[in-house]
């Protein structure tokens, strides 16, 4: 049974008229949407809100996509594969138009070349993923009928965010660290949020819904509403009842290795999707405060001011992630480089970011005070380290008996140059000492096995059954240089 949205009919008769996008923004709210040549879900099928956009051309540079198969005709049947195709295509093009300025040329996609494949419906699974070769989407059951992950612009732009981050910082793919994996999820959720804000109609609607206070529970903060609701029914600890994750929820930092590997969504676990909410919450808070300081009238920010702030956040995230080293305590590291990058955009921004990071215990007060007093010196130091980085490969060996393997497991690690070390806060507010790289990597690997995210690829002991119920695994075991090693396969 196909999903039926209660607010829509199966076929929406809409005229085909070309207009400028910004005309939509200025239209009174009670008018029917001005029409271009494409009708799409604004953020998610569960919102039930349509908007219109120019028909995208996925073959245009600089970041191209290939959806195998014939291009379907436009359709206003919200339950049709064609409607999902064009909704996904528009989200992809809007997302890459937004992110393209910060993707280094000419490398483009991490797989090489300028074209990334997109598979809109691989098989039954309540999932979506990015595996370096492609963005993959699936379908699965819900009480309302079948849901398709590609039908949600939120989910599409989340997966796109993984691909963009992989293009600008490929080292994060191979780092076996809980906070690095969690930041990848934060970046992907921020991609969903920031790409949604590139729709004029959505910017205006969100300013009305939140009364200008972006840091509230809204269609902007609730990411992947339809897919999240479906996942919640089958796996209540993997999603909120009304979305995959809510960026306006509040969690404080603690060492992820001290957390359980899974928990209900009201608590924090070390699972990257759960733990990412610490950092996403801080960034979402910062986004709201950026709008307040940038608006000519702080109590009546305009859609254009919101767009400008979303572009500032994009540039700050890209610069911050470029300069951060992949080290234990990565949240404090990347919070530092993000705060430093924000100073290059607007002198009011560092106070906003540092306040959000201290509030979420991602940075200790001591570290934040040091950053605040040394913005330019530290910025120069991190930029220099990023340019002159001498990365060294190291190896830690984990015992076969722990994982039901026939031989010990090699875990590759990358050591970074020493420099300023940012600290997160303990519960008493004092600076926290980070664990060593081998200890942090072991905690990450143990968690992967515990939650069943490793495909053994036949390397398990005879008769050993691996854990976990999900078909799609983020990591796999492979033989490399004569030894058994762990490598990432995808991000969900
Ligand atoms: Zn993800």
Using one digit for the tens of pLDDT, what is the confidence trace for 104-151? 886 689 888 889 999 999 999 999 999 999 999 999 999 999 999 999
In terms of phi and psi (left: phi > 0; alpha: psi -120 to 50; beta: otherwise), the region of 302 is: beta
Residue with the bigger pLDDT between 177 and 392: it is: 177
Same domain assignment for residues 165 and 38: yes
Same domain assignment for residues 158 and 224: yes
462 pLDDT tier (thresholds 50, 70, 90): confident
Same domain assignment for residues 244 and 120: yes
**Percent of the chain residues topping a pLDDT of 90:** 83
Same domain assignment for residues 256 and 325: yes
Q: Does residue 470 register a pLDDT over 90?
A: no
Same domain assignment for residues 423 and 316: no
List, in sequence order, every residue forming a beta bridge with 454; answer none if it has no partner. 475
Torsion of CA 166, 172, 176, 177, to 10 degrees: -120
Torsion of CA 160, 164, 169, 173, to 10 degrees: 20
Give the pLDDT mean for 166-185.
Answer: 96
Tell me how far the alpha carbon of residue 481 lies from the centroid of ligand 1, in angstroms. Answer: 30
**Cα–Cα distance list, 422 to 72, 159, 176, 208, 362 (Å):** 51, 29, 20, 38, 10
Tell me how far the alpha carbon of residue 183 lies from the centroid of ligand 1, in angstroms. Answer: 10
**DSSP 3-state of 202:** helix
Q: How far apart are CA 115 and CA 420, in angstroms?
A: 38
Q: How far apart are CA 151 and CA 149, in angstroms?
A: 5
Report if residue 296 sits inside a domain. yes
Give the pLDDT mean for 330-356.
Answer: 98
Tell me how far the alpha carbon of residue 73 lies from the centroid of ligand 1, in angstroms. Answer: 30
Q: Does residue 484 register a pLDDT over 50?
A: yes
Tell me how far the alpha carbon of residue 397 lies from the centroid of ligand 1, in angstroms. Answer: 28
Tell me how far the alpha carbon of residue 44 lies from the centroid of ligand 1, in angstroms. Answer: 16
What are the structure tokens assigned to 325, written together?
Answer: 């080293």
113 Cβ neighbours under 8 A, 6+ residues apart: none
Domain count, the chain: 2
Task: Return the half-sphere exposure (C-beta side, CA atoms, 13 A cut-off) of residue 199.
Answer: 31
pLDDT of residue 109: 93
387 Cβ neighbours under 8 A, 6+ residues apart: none
Tell how many helices (H) and how many strands (E) occur in the chain. 15, 15
Tell me how far the alpha carbon of residue 485 lies from the centroid of ligand 1, in angstroms. Answer: 23
Same domain assignment for residues 205 and 351: yes
Domain stops at, among 324, 356, 387:
387
Tell me how far the alpha carbon of residue 378 lies from the centroid of ligand 1, in angstroms. Answer: 31
* Structural domain containing residue 468: 392-488
Same domain assignment for residues 408 and 291: no
Report if residue 370 sits inside a domain. yes
35 pLDDT tier (thresholds 50, 70, 90): very low
Report if residue 58 sits inside a domain. yes
Same domain assignment for residues 185 and 233: yes
Q: Does residue 312 register a pLDDT over 50?
A: yes
Report if residue 310 sits inside a domain. yes
Residue with the bigger pLDDT between 246 and 26: it is: 246
Q: What share of the chain is helix, strand, coil (3-state, %, to 5)?
A: 40, 15, 45
Same domain assignment for residues 76 and 223: yes
Tell me how far the alpha carbon of residue 384 lies from the centroid of ligand 1, in angstroms. Answer: 30
Contact 488, 176 (CB under 8 A): no
Same domain assignment for residues 337 and 447: no
Domain stops at, among 387, 413, 448:
387
Tell me how far the alpha carbon of residue 187 lies from the centroid of ligand 1, in angstroms. Answer: 9
Residue with the bigger pLDDT between 421 and 392: it is: 421
Tell me how far the alpha carbon of residue 172 lies from the centroid of ligand 1, in angstroms. Answer: 13
The residue among 445, 385, 374 whose CA lies nearest residue 415 is 385
Same domain assignment for residues 181 and 320: yes
Domain stops at, among 369, 387, 405:
387
Tell me how far the alpha carbon of residue 356 lies from the centroid of ligand 1, in angstroms. Answer: 23
Give the pLDDT mean for 183-202.
Answer: 98
Report if residue 8 sits inside a domain. no
Tell me how far the alpha carbon of residue 55 lies from the centroid of ligand 1, in angstroms. Answer: 27
Tell me how far the alpha carbon of residue 18 lies from the centroid of ligand 1, in angstroms. Answer: 35
Tell me how far the alpha carbon of residue 270 lies from the centroid of ligand 1, in angstroms. Answer: 14
Tell me how far the alpha carbon of residue 159 lies from the centroid of ligand 1, in angstroms. Answer: 6
């Amino acid at each position: 049974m196909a999903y039926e949205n209660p607010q829509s009919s199966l076929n929406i008769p809409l005229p085909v008229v070309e207009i400028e996008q910004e005309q939509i923004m200025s239209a009174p709210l009670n008018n029917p949407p001005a029409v271009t040549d494409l009708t799409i879900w604004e953020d998610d099928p569960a919102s039930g809100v349509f908007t219109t956009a120019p028909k995208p051309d996925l073959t245009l540079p600089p970041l191209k996509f290939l959806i195998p198969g014939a291009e379907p005709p436009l359709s206003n049947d919200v339950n049709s594969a064609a409607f999902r195709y064009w909704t996904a295509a528009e989200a992809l093009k809007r997302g890459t138009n937004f992110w393209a300025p910060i993707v280094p040329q000419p490398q483009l996609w991490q797989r090489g070349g300028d074209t990334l494949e997109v598979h809109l419906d691989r098989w039954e699974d309540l999932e979506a993923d990015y595996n370096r070769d492609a963005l993959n989407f699936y379908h699965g059951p819900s009480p309302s009928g079948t849901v398709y992950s590609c039908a949600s612009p939120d989910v599409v732009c989340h997966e796109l965010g993984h691909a963009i981050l992989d293009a600008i910082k490929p080292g994060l793919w191979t780092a076996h660290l809980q906070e690095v994996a969690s930041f990848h999820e934060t970046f992907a959720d921020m991609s969903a949020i920031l790409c949604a804000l590139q729709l004029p109609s959505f910017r205006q609607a969100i300013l009305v819904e939140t009364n200008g206070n972006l840091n509230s529970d809204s269609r902007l903060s609730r990411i992947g509403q339809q897919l999240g609701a479906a996942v919640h029914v089958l796996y209540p600890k993997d999603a909120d009842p009304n979305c995959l994750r809510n960026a306006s929820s509040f969690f404080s930092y603690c060492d992820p290795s001290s957390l359980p590997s899974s928990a209900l969504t009201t608590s924090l676990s070390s699972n990257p999707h759960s733990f990412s909410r610490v950092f996403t919450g801080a960034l979402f808070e910062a986004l709201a405060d950026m709008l307040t300081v940038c608006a000519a009238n702080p109590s009546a920010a305009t859609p254009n001011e919101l767009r400008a702030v979303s572009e500032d956040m994009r540039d700050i995230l890209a610069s911050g992630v470029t300069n951060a080293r992949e080290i234990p305590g990565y949240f404090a590291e990347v919070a530092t480089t993000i705060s430093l990058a924000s100073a290059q955009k607007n002198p009011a921004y560092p106070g906003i970011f540092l306040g959000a990071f201290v509030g979420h215990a991602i940075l200790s007060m001591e570290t934040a005070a040091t950053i605040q007093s040394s913005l330019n010196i530290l910025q120069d130091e991190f930029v220099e380290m990023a340019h002159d980085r001498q990365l060294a490969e190291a190896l830690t060996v984990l015992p076969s008996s722990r994982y039901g393997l026939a031989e010990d497991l090699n875990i590759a690690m990358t050591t970074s140059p020493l420099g300023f070390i940012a600290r997160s806060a303990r519960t008493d507010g004092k600076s926290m000492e980070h664990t060593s790289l081998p200890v942090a990597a072991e905690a990450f690997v143990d968690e992967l096995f515990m939650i069943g995210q490793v495909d053994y690829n036949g390397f398990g002991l005879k008769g050993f059954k691996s854990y976990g119920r999900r078909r799609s695994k983020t990591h796999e075991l492979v033989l490399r240089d004569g030894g058994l090693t762990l490598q990432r396969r995808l991000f969900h």
